[in-house]
Amino acid sequence: MGNLLKVLTCTDLEQGPNFFLDFENAQPTESEKEIYNQVNVVLKDAEGILEDLQSYRGAGHEIREAIQHPADEKLQEK
């Protein structure tokens, strides 16, 4: 993480960064394990939420029908 901060705060543009960050194979240390597990649960939930949002087709038609027929319980539920 220190290397990343070093590059982001670098003001010498002539000297390019000389490091490699391997994000794909990074593993949490023992001190990071608890937070890693908490974040991992949230990220797994987020995948499902994103899929639901991407497949959402909208409810404009259903809303208009419910407004036009306020006494129809089935339309209100839908």
- For the chain, domain boundaries: 1-77
List pLDDT tens digits, range 15-71. 666 667 788 898 999 999 999 999 999 999 998 999 999 998 888 999 999 999 999
pTM, whole model, 2 decimals? 0.42
Q: How far apart are CA 40 and CA 36, in angstroms?
A: 6
Q: Supply the DSSP symbol for 70.
A: T
**Both structure tokens of 6:** 């070093």
pLDDT value of position 12: 63
